[in-house]
Amino acid sequence: MPSRPVLVVVALAIVYIVWGSTYLGIRIMVEDMPPMIAAGGRFLCAAVILAVILMVRGGLARLALTRAEVWSCALIGLLLPVLGQGLVTIAESGGAPSGLVALLIAAVPLWVLLYRVLAGERPKRTTVAGVLMGFAGLAVLLAANGIGGGFPFWALLLVLFSSASWAFGSWLQPRLRMPKDAFVAAVYEMAIGGALLLVVGLAGGERFAPAEYSLRAWGAWVYLVVFGSVVAFSAYVWLLQAANISLVATYAYVNPLVAVLLGWLVLSEAVTVPIVAGGAIVVAAVVLVVSTERPQRKTSSVKEPDHG
Protein backbone atom coordinates (compact mmCIF):
# COMPACT_ATOMS: atom_id res chain seq x y z
CA MET A 1 0.00 0.00 0.00
CA PRO A 2 1.35 3.46 -0.84
CA SER A 3 2.41 5.41 2.22
CA ARG A 4 0.68 8.60 1.01
CA PRO A 5 0.52 11.51 3.45
CA VAL A 6 -3.28 11.39 3.59
CA LEU A 7 -3.23 7.74 4.63
CA VAL A 8 -0.66 8.47 7.32
CA VAL A 9 -2.83 11.31 8.65
CA VAL A 10 -5.95 9.11 8.73
CA ALA A 11 -4.11 6.26 10.44
CA LEU A 12 -2.64 8.65 13.01
CA ALA A 13 -6.07 10.12 13.73
CA ILE A 14 -7.47 6.63 14.33
CA VAL A 15 -4.64 5.74 16.70
CA TYR A 16 -4.89 9.11 18.46
CA ILE A 17 -8.60 8.97 19.24
CA VAL A 18 -9.56 5.29 19.27
CA TRP A 19 -6.65 4.13 21.39
CA GLY A 20 -7.30 6.92 23.84
CA SER A 21 -10.76 5.45 24.37
CA THR A 22 -9.60 1.84 24.73
CA TYR A 23 -8.33 2.40 28.27
CA LEU A 24 -11.90 3.20 29.29
CA GLY A 25 -13.14 0.18 27.33
CA ILE A 26 -10.70 -2.13 29.10
CA ARG A 27 -11.67 -0.74 32.51
CA ILE A 28 -15.36 -1.44 31.82
CA MET A 29 -14.68 -4.85 30.27
CA VAL A 30 -12.74 -6.20 33.26
CA GLU A 31 -15.50 -5.23 35.70
CA ASP A 32 -17.02 -8.63 34.82
CA MET A 33 -14.66 -10.48 32.50
CA PRO A 34 -11.41 -12.23 33.48
CA PRO A 35 -8.58 -10.11 32.07
CA MET A 36 -6.43 -12.62 30.19
CA ILE A 37 -9.31 -14.51 28.61
CA ALA A 38 -11.04 -11.27 27.67
CA ALA A 39 -7.88 -9.83 26.11
CA GLY A 40 -6.99 -13.10 24.38
CA GLY A 41 -10.47 -13.51 22.95
CA ARG A 42 -10.41 -9.90 21.82
CA PHE A 43 -7.25 -10.31 19.78
CA LEU A 44 -8.17 -13.72 18.38
CA CYS A 45 -11.57 -12.51 17.17
CA ALA A 46 -10.00 -9.40 15.69
CA ALA A 47 -7.41 -11.55 13.89
CA VAL A 48 -10.14 -13.75 12.39
CA ILE A 49 -12.17 -10.73 11.23
CA LEU A 50 -9.17 -9.07 9.62
CA ALA A 51 -8.02 -12.35 8.04
CA VAL A 52 -11.45 -12.88 6.44
CA ILE A 53 -11.40 -9.33 5.05
CA LEU A 54 -7.94 -9.88 3.56
CA MET A 55 -8.90 -13.26 2.05
CA VAL A 56 -12.02 -11.79 0.45
CA ARG A 57 -9.91 -9.05 -1.12
CA GLY A 58 -6.81 -11.06 -2.02
CA GLY A 59 -7.46 -14.76 -1.60
CA LEU A 60 -5.96 -17.26 0.82
CA ALA A 61 -2.52 -16.81 -0.74
CA ARG A 62 -2.38 -13.30 0.68
CA LEU A 63 -1.91 -14.80 4.16
CA ALA A 64 1.06 -16.97 3.19
CA LEU A 65 4.25 -16.35 5.18
CA THR A 66 7.80 -17.60 5.25
CA ARG A 67 9.12 -19.28 8.40
CA ALA A 68 11.21 -16.22 9.28
CA GLU A 69 8.15 -13.97 8.96
CA VAL A 70 6.11 -16.26 11.23
CA TRP A 71 8.78 -16.11 13.93
CA SER A 72 8.98 -12.33 13.61
CA CYS A 73 5.20 -12.01 13.97
CA ALA A 74 5.28 -14.34 16.97
CA LEU A 75 7.90 -12.18 18.69
CA ILE A 76 5.97 -8.97 18.05
CA GLY A 77 2.77 -10.73 19.13
CA LEU A 78 4.44 -11.48 22.45
CA LEU A 79 5.72 -7.93 22.92
CA LEU A 80 2.63 -5.98 21.78
CA PRO A 81 -0.64 -7.86 22.42
CA VAL A 82 0.61 -10.05 25.29
CA LEU A 83 3.09 -7.97 27.31
CA GLY A 84 1.75 -4.65 26.04
CA GLN A 85 -2.03 -4.89 26.03
CA GLY A 86 -2.37 -8.01 28.17
CA LEU A 87 -0.54 -6.54 31.16
CA VAL A 88 -2.53 -3.32 30.88
CA THR A 89 -5.72 -5.37 31.07
CA ILE A 90 -4.49 -7.14 34.21
CA ALA A 91 -3.46 -3.83 35.78
CA GLU A 92 -6.88 -2.28 35.17
CA SER A 93 -8.60 -5.38 36.53
CA GLY A 94 -6.48 -4.81 39.65
CA GLY A 95 -8.00 -1.37 40.07
CA ALA A 96 -5.61 0.96 38.26
CA PRO A 97 -7.60 3.95 36.90
CA SER A 98 -7.77 4.10 33.10
CA GLY A 99 -6.54 7.70 32.94
CA LEU A 100 -3.51 7.04 35.13
CA VAL A 101 -2.69 3.93 33.08
CA ALA A 102 -2.76 6.00 29.90
CA LEU A 103 -0.39 8.56 31.41
CA LEU A 104 2.12 5.83 32.31
CA ILE A 105 1.82 4.34 28.82
CA ALA A 106 2.58 7.80 27.42
CA ALA A 107 6.23 7.11 28.19
CA VAL A 108 6.47 4.75 25.18
CA PRO A 109 8.47 7.26 23.05
CA LEU A 110 10.90 7.73 25.92
CA TRP A 111 11.52 4.00 26.09
CA VAL A 112 11.90 3.88 22.30
CA LEU A 113 14.61 6.51 22.47
CA LEU A 114 16.35 4.59 25.25
CA TYR A 115 16.47 1.49 23.00
CA ARG A 116 17.84 3.59 20.17
CA VAL A 117 20.61 4.84 22.44
CA LEU A 118 21.44 1.30 23.54
CA ALA A 119 21.61 0.36 19.84
CA GLY A 120 24.36 2.94 19.34
CA GLU A 121 22.56 6.13 18.32
CA ARG A 122 23.60 9.46 19.80
CA PRO A 123 20.61 11.69 20.51
CA LYS A 124 20.69 15.48 20.84
CA ARG A 125 21.17 17.04 24.25
CA THR A 126 17.64 18.42 24.12
CA THR A 127 16.33 14.93 23.51
CA VAL A 128 18.25 13.55 26.48
CA ALA A 129 16.85 16.35 28.64
CA GLY A 130 13.36 15.44 27.47
CA VAL A 131 13.85 11.78 28.36
CA LEU A 132 15.14 12.65 31.83
CA MET A 133 12.21 15.00 32.36
CA GLY A 134 9.77 12.33 31.19
CA PHE A 135 11.05 9.69 33.57
CA ALA A 136 10.94 12.28 36.36
CA GLY A 137 7.26 12.73 35.53
CA LEU A 138 6.77 8.97 35.76
CA ALA A 139 8.42 9.02 39.17
CA VAL A 140 5.95 11.70 40.29
CA LEU A 141 3.01 9.61 39.09
CA LEU A 142 4.30 6.44 40.78
CA ALA A 143 5.20 8.18 44.05
CA ALA A 144 1.93 10.08 44.29
CA ASN A 145 -0.28 7.09 43.53
CA GLY A 146 1.72 4.20 44.92
CA ILE A 147 0.92 4.62 48.60
CA GLY A 148 -2.67 4.89 49.69
CA GLY A 149 -3.82 5.24 46.11
CA GLY A 150 -6.80 2.94 46.54
CA PHE A 151 -5.33 0.23 44.29
CA PRO A 152 -2.28 -2.10 44.45
CA PHE A 153 1.08 -0.58 43.60
CA TRP A 154 1.95 -3.69 41.59
CA ALA A 155 -0.68 -2.60 39.05
CA LEU A 156 1.29 0.56 38.29
CA LEU A 157 4.57 -1.35 38.02
CA LEU A 158 2.86 -3.75 35.63
CA VAL A 159 1.77 -0.84 33.45
CA LEU A 160 5.32 0.54 33.46
CA PHE A 161 6.68 -2.82 32.30
CA SER A 162 3.91 -2.98 29.71
CA SER A 163 4.96 0.42 28.37
CA ALA A 164 8.59 -0.70 28.07
CA SER A 165 7.54 -3.92 26.30
CA TRP A 166 5.28 -2.10 23.86
CA ALA A 167 8.06 0.39 23.08
CA PHE A 168 10.57 -2.42 22.50
CA GLY A 169 8.20 -4.17 20.11
CA SER A 170 7.55 -0.92 18.25
CA TRP A 171 11.28 -0.24 17.96
CA LEU A 172 12.11 -3.82 16.98
CA GLN A 173 9.43 -4.49 14.37
CA PRO A 174 10.95 -2.43 11.51
CA ARG A 175 14.22 -4.29 12.11
CA LEU A 176 12.72 -7.76 11.67
CA ARG A 177 11.87 -9.68 8.51
CA MET A 178 8.15 -8.96 8.60
CA PRO A 179 5.48 -9.62 5.94
CA LYS A 180 5.46 -6.92 3.27
CA ASP A 181 1.73 -6.49 3.86
CA ALA A 182 1.36 -4.75 7.23
CA PHE A 183 -2.23 -5.96 7.63
CA VAL A 184 -1.12 -9.58 7.21
CA ALA A 185 1.45 -8.92 9.93
CA ALA A 186 -1.33 -7.57 12.16
CA VAL A 187 -3.37 -10.76 11.63
CA TYR A 188 -0.59 -13.04 12.77
CA GLU A 189 0.53 -10.79 15.62
CA MET A 190 -2.99 -10.60 17.03
CA ALA A 191 -3.68 -14.32 16.46
CA ILE A 192 -0.48 -15.48 18.14
CA GLY A 193 -0.76 -12.93 20.92
CA GLY A 194 -4.42 -13.75 21.52
CA ALA A 195 -3.71 -17.49 21.67
CA LEU A 196 -0.90 -16.94 24.19
CA LEU A 197 -3.14 -14.77 26.37
CA LEU A 198 -5.87 -17.42 26.37
CA VAL A 199 -3.44 -20.19 27.29
CA VAL A 200 -1.95 -18.14 30.13
CA GLY A 201 -5.40 -17.14 31.38
CA LEU A 202 -6.78 -20.69 31.40
CA ALA A 203 -3.58 -22.05 32.97
CA GLY A 204 -3.83 -19.36 35.64
CA GLY A 205 -7.31 -20.47 36.69
CA GLU A 206 -9.48 -18.04 34.74
CA ARG A 207 -12.73 -19.46 33.36
CA PHE A 208 -14.96 -18.40 30.52
CA ALA A 209 -18.57 -17.83 31.67
CA PRO A 210 -20.25 -15.63 29.03
CA ALA A 211 -23.70 -15.75 30.63
CA GLU A 212 -22.32 -14.09 33.77
CA TYR A 213 -21.02 -10.99 31.99
CA SER A 214 -23.14 -7.84 31.80
CA LEU A 215 -24.22 -6.23 28.53
CA ARG A 216 -22.05 -3.27 29.51
CA ALA A 217 -18.95 -5.50 29.68
CA TRP A 218 -19.87 -7.24 26.41
CA GLY A 219 -20.37 -3.87 24.73
CA ALA A 220 -16.91 -2.75 25.83
CA TRP A 221 -15.41 -6.04 24.60
CA VAL A 222 -17.03 -5.72 21.17
CA TYR A 223 -15.81 -2.13 20.91
CA LEU A 224 -12.27 -3.25 21.75
CA VAL A 225 -12.42 -6.06 19.17
CA VAL A 226 -13.70 -3.93 16.30
CA PHE A 227 -12.21 -0.51 16.94
CA GLY A 228 -9.37 -1.14 19.38
CA SER A 229 -7.94 -4.16 17.54
CA VAL A 230 -9.19 -4.54 13.96
CA VAL A 231 -9.15 -0.82 13.19
CA ALA A 232 -6.63 0.86 15.50
CA PHE A 233 -4.08 -1.95 15.93
CA SER A 234 -4.01 -2.52 12.17
CA ALA A 235 -3.52 1.21 11.64
CA TYR A 236 -0.66 1.23 14.15
CA VAL A 237 1.11 -1.75 12.59
CA TRP A 238 0.76 -0.14 9.16
CA LEU A 239 2.18 3.14 10.51
CA LEU A 240 5.23 1.33 11.88
CA GLN A 241 6.07 0.33 8.30
CA ALA A 242 4.84 3.42 6.45
CA ALA A 243 6.01 6.30 8.66
CA ASN A 244 8.96 7.30 10.79
CA ILE A 245 8.85 5.96 14.35
CA SER A 246 9.21 9.49 15.77
CA LEU A 247 6.00 10.51 13.99
CA VAL A 248 4.18 7.36 15.02
CA ALA A 249 5.20 7.95 18.63
CA THR A 250 3.23 11.20 18.77
CA TYR A 251 0.08 9.21 19.58
CA ALA A 252 1.47 8.84 23.08
CA TYR A 253 0.77 12.43 24.05
CA VAL A 254 -2.75 12.48 22.63
CA ASN A 255 -4.01 9.16 24.03
CA PRO A 256 -3.60 10.18 27.70
CA LEU A 257 -5.62 13.35 27.26
CA VAL A 258 -8.48 11.39 25.69
CA ALA A 259 -8.23 8.65 28.33
CA VAL A 260 -8.15 10.99 31.33
CA LEU A 261 -11.11 12.96 30.01
CA LEU A 262 -13.21 9.86 29.31
CA GLY A 263 -12.29 8.26 32.64
CA TRP A 264 -13.41 11.40 34.43
CA LEU A 265 -16.62 11.79 32.41
CA VAL A 266 -17.77 8.15 32.33
CA LEU A 267 -16.29 6.51 35.43
CA SER A 268 -15.82 9.60 37.63
CA GLU A 269 -12.14 8.77 38.05
CA ALA A 270 -10.33 11.27 40.25
CA VAL A 271 -8.11 13.80 38.49
CA THR A 272 -5.84 14.90 41.35
CA VAL A 273 -3.14 17.55 41.40
CA PRO A 274 -0.30 14.94 41.39
CA ILE A 275 -1.87 13.18 38.40
CA VAL A 276 -2.19 16.45 36.51
CA ALA A 277 1.35 17.54 37.45
CA GLY A 278 3.05 14.21 36.74
CA GLY A 279 1.02 13.67 33.59
CA ALA A 280 1.83 17.16 32.32
CA ILE A 281 5.55 16.52 32.84
CA VAL A 282 5.40 13.21 30.95
CA VAL A 283 3.38 14.61 28.05
CA ALA A 284 5.60 17.72 27.79
CA ALA A 285 8.68 15.50 27.76
CA VAL A 286 7.25 13.33 25.00
CA VAL A 287 6.42 16.43 22.94
CA LEU A 288 9.98 17.69 23.44
CA VAL A 289 11.58 14.37 22.48
CA VAL A 290 9.44 13.82 19.41
CA SER A 291 9.76 17.41 18.18
CA THR A 292 13.55 17.45 18.47
CA GLU A 293 14.05 14.14 16.69
CA ARG A 294 14.43 14.75 12.96
CA PRO A 295 12.28 12.32 10.96
CA GLN A 296 14.23 10.26 8.45
CA ARG A 297 13.24 11.06 4.88
CA LYS A 298 11.93 8.15 2.91
CA THR A 299 13.69 7.57 -0.39
CA SER A 300 10.57 6.31 -2.11
CA SER A 301 6.90 7.22 -2.05
CA VAL A 302 5.84 3.61 -1.85
CA LYS A 303 5.08 1.20 -0.01
CA GLU A 304 7.20 -1.55 1.32
CA PRO A 305 9.31 -1.32 4.46
CA ASP A 306 13.01 -2.00 4.39
CA HIS A 307 13.44 -5.34 6.11
CA GLY A 308 17.16 -5.51 5.51
- The model's confidence at residue 147, banded by pLDDT at 50, 70 and 90, is low
pLDDT recorded at residue 302: 35
> With contact defined as beta carbons under 8 Å apart, do 59 and 261 qualify?
no
Determine the average pLDDT of the residues in 237-256: 76
For residue range 124-140, list pLDDT tens digits in order: 788 788 878 878 887 77
If one compares 244 and 145, the residue with the highest pLDDT of the two is: 244
| Closest alpha carbon to 101 in 136, 149, 148, 133 | 149
Does pTM surpass 0.75? yes
Q: Which residue has the higher pLDDT, 149 or 153?
A: 153
What region does 296 belong to: left with phi over 0, alpha with psi -120 to 50, or beta?
beta
Which of 203, 222, 159 is closest to 25 using CA atoms? 222
Please tell me the predicted confidence (pLDDT) of residue 2. Answer: 47
Is the pLDDT at 109 greater than 80? The verdict is: no
Determine the average pLDDT of the residues in 250-258.
77
pLDDT: is 90 or 233 the higher one?
Answer: 90
What pLDDT is stored for residue 222 in this prediction?
96
- Averaged over 232-261, what is the pLDDT? 79
Q: How many residues does the chain have?
A: 308
Mean pLDDT of 214-240: 89
Q: Residue 41: helix, strand or coil by DSSP?
A: helix
Q: What is the pLDDT of residue 308?
A: 39
Residue 206, classed as helix, strand or coil, is coil
Q: What is the pLDDT of residues 155-196, one digit of tens each?
A: 888 988 999 999 999 889 889 999 988 889 989 999 999 999
